[in-house]
Structure formats: structure tokens, C-alpha cells
Amino acid sequence: MMIPNGIDAILDGLIHSHASIRDWAQSELSLRHELPIEVLPRLVAALDAPDPFVHVEALKALARWGAAATPAIPQVVRILCQPPNSLIQLPETTLDIGPSEAIRTLAAIGEAAVGPLQVLVRGRDRSKRLAAVWALSALAAVSPAAMPVLAVALQDSDAWVRAQAASGLGACGVAAKEFLPNLREAAAMSDGCLRAEVAYACQRIDPTFPADYAPILAELRRLLHSNSSDLRARAAYTVSHLAIRAKELVPDLIAALETDEDWADASLALTQIAQIHPEIIAYCIQLIAERTDSRSVHLSLALSRVTPPILALNPLLIEQYRTGGLNRTLILSALSRIPGEPEVMIPFLASVILDGSSPQAADDFVRSTAIRQLAAYVDRDPERVTAVIVRASYDPNQQIHQAALSVLRKLWRNHARHLP
């Protein structure tokens, strides 16, 4: 079967040396929901490209084939096991988008992925064992063959691996009942986080399983204030799983947002608790309004993930940005999840995009992000939005120029009838 010319050009574009052509190819590929299986080898080859955003679109396309994408497993596993420092390094954040998408792709492929992941679980590389257990936790919901491998991982030498294995089995619910003895055996280890994970996993598998959470929460509180950043992060990660029972640990999690090493796991835990216990949202918003430090930015990011969106966050986030927020990338990321009035958001994003020369100007990544966010308001005010992005396309900064051109192409394709 011949590959249609349009698809052929997209596949070539994914590995092109010019960023704007790769961006076009990714956008086009995301719109192609049915691809001939003959393009599989070329999509797999795209996973060797240096651009992590290309990896994401190729992985999404592979996932749409399900089990038919089995030949791609070795390359998908390679993306899964990439260390964070080989991913997208940006001035204010690191995006581990490739491994996250690889997990979803392996889950879509199904049982054929269990064997290669089992090999990693038995290996010596701790980071690869942890990545494999993450993927197996997602696979277990669709492939029972993953559960015995998770049960073996409960005895791993690494505490993070053990905790994720327990969480993965718990997520399987009653289907994992035969592994309750393995979980009880793991609970005997002198590891407070693992005991908490095991207790919660056992109750998810068997609601009649007796568990006393008072000492478990007391141990997690102690760990959240530990001198060890690894223990604080592990405790916060565990609390994110116990959200329905961990409301009393909110002040401890907020305290953990103070340090750079802890904020991501503590933020995730706060998101989960706020989703289940919305009464804590007002308390958190008051804290955000009273502070302008990194803790308030991280707390804002946590609340921005709550659904439905907390509209009261929008003006607070804009104020954080204008008063010199410590992490502008995170602030814009939070704003992207919360609808704002066009009369407020369009001028704000325009100021971020067009102010590229003053000492207070945002860096290139933040300005490029703002261009993409501004495009979301094109239906509300096509003339103003288009005018700002057109101005940005003449920016002497090459990254801003390319970002604006890419967005303009998408706007023209999707919204041509609305554009001036």
C-alpha cells in the first residue's frame, strides 16, 4: 500500500532540522486519527529525533493503534526510561512529557508490553525499575499479567519502587485480591510511607480490611518535616494517594512547599485533597493572597488543577506575575487551566508577549507560552488576538518569531472564517 502524499510530508516534517516545520508536522499528525499501519516504522524512527515534542505526538499516534503498535515497544520503553536531565531543560522548569506519554502508549498496547517491563523490574538500574513499575501500574488495569510483576516489586530494595508497586496493585481493586498476602508482608517493613500505601491499597482491594490511619498519618506528618528531602517528597507523594483521609495534613504540606525539592509532590498532594475536600480551598486562597513567595506560587499551581476551575485564582495569579513571581512559567501554566475574562486576559498576555526589551521582560519560553495561550481567546476577540500575534511574528527574537508564525498557521487553518 502506498503512503498518501500528505502523510508522507508529515512524517518527513517530524524529523526536519527546522523547528517550525517540525511544529507544523506535529500539529498535522495530531489531527490524523487514522493512519495506515505501513507508516509504523517511520513513526518509530521519529522517536529517535532530538525533539521531545515530536516524541509526544508520535507516541500518541502509536497509542491509537493499540496492540498493533507492539513492534514499537523497545523504542517506547527507551523513551520511558529517559532520565529527567535528558528531557526538556528550560529556564524555569523541566518537562518530563516523553515518559508520561510513553506510559499511556504502553498501556494502550497492552499485555505485550508486560514482558519487556518485567525485564527492567529485575534489573539493577533503580531509575529504570521505577519507570517500569509506573508503567506496569497503568497496564495492570487492562492486563492482569502486570499484577504478579508488581507483587514482586513490593520486595524491591528501593522505597519509591515498593510504594509505587503497592499503589499500582491497590488501583486494581478487587481484581488484585490474590496479592493481599504480598501486601501484608510488605507492610512489615520499617518504612512508614510503604505502610501507609499498603494500608490504603488493601482497603481499595478489600473494603473490609481493618486499618488504623491515626498512627499512619502521624508518621507521615513526622516525615513531612524530616531533614531528608527524599523522605519529605516520599511522604507528600504518599499523602497524594491517601487524599480522602489526609485532610489534617494540609498545613504540613503547605509547609513543605517552602523548599524547591519538595514542592512538586506536595503540590500534587494538595491538589488531590482540595479535589475531595473543597472546604480547604478558601483557606489556601487566603494564604496565596497574603504572600508573594515561592510557596504561594506552588500553592496556586496546586489549586489550578482542581476541577471545576477555581475562578477566584485568576486575578491572584496575574498579580503574582506582575509583582515579580518567582516562577513565571508555573504562573502561566496555572493560568492556562483557569478561564479568565477576555477583557483581562488579552491585555495581560499581550503585555507578556510584546514586552521583550525591558529589564522586567519574560524569558523566551514564557513569551512563547503566552502566545499559545492568547490563541485560546481568538473566538472571543479575533481582531485583537490576531493583531498581537502578528506583531510578535515580526519580533527579532527567532524563537518568538517562529512561535508566532506557528500559532498563526493554526489559527488560519482552524478559525479562518473568524479572522480579520
Q: Is residue 303 predicted with pLDDT exceeding 70?
A: yes
Provide mean pLDDT across the span 66-88. Answer: 80
Model confidence pLDDT, tens digit, residues 87-126: 333 333 334 566 888 999 999 999 999 999 999 999 999 9
What is d(CA 245, CA 262) in angstroms, rounded to the nearest whole number? 21
Mean pLDDT to the nearest integer, 342-370:
84
Residue 25 is predicted with a pLDDT of: 86
| Nearest-10 Cα torsion for 257, 258, 259, 261 | 10
Backbone angles phi, psi at 94, to 5 degrees: -125, 125
Place 273 in a pLDDT band, splitting at 50, 70 and 90. very high
What is the per-residue pLDDT for 322?
82
Query: What average pLDDT does this structure show over 28-40?
Result: 86
What digits encode the pLDDT tens for the residues 204-254? 999 888 878 888 899 999 999 888 888 888 899 899 888 888 999 999 998
**Long-range contacts, stretch 288-296, CB < 8 angstroms, 24+ apart:** 288/313, 288/316, 288/320, 289/316, 292/320, 292/323, 292/324, 292/325, 293/326, 294/257, 294/258, 294/260, 294/263, 294/326, 294/327, 295/254, 295/257, 295/258, 295/263, 296/320
pLDDT of 96: 55
Q: Render pLDDT for 124-145 as a digit per residue (tens, 0 to 9).
A: 999 899 999 999 999 998 899 9
Over pLDDT 70: what percentage of the chain?
90
Alpha carbons 323 and 187: distance in angstroms, whole number? 48
- Please tell me the predicted confidence (pLDDT) of residue 95: 41
**Lowest-confidence segment of 15-29, 55-69, 197-211 by average pLDDT:** 15-29
Contacts of 339 (CB under 8 A, 6+ apart): 309, 311, 314
pTM: 0.78
Amino acid identity, position 39? V
Classify domain 342-420 at the CATH topology level. Answer: Leucine-rich Repeat Variant (1.25.10)
- Residue 9 pLDDT greater than 50, yes or no: yes
pLDDT of residue 324: 66
The packing angle between helices 126-139 and 159-171, to 10°, is: 0
Q: Enumerate the domain spans of the chain.
A: 212-340, 342-420
Mean pLDDT, all residues of the chain: 85
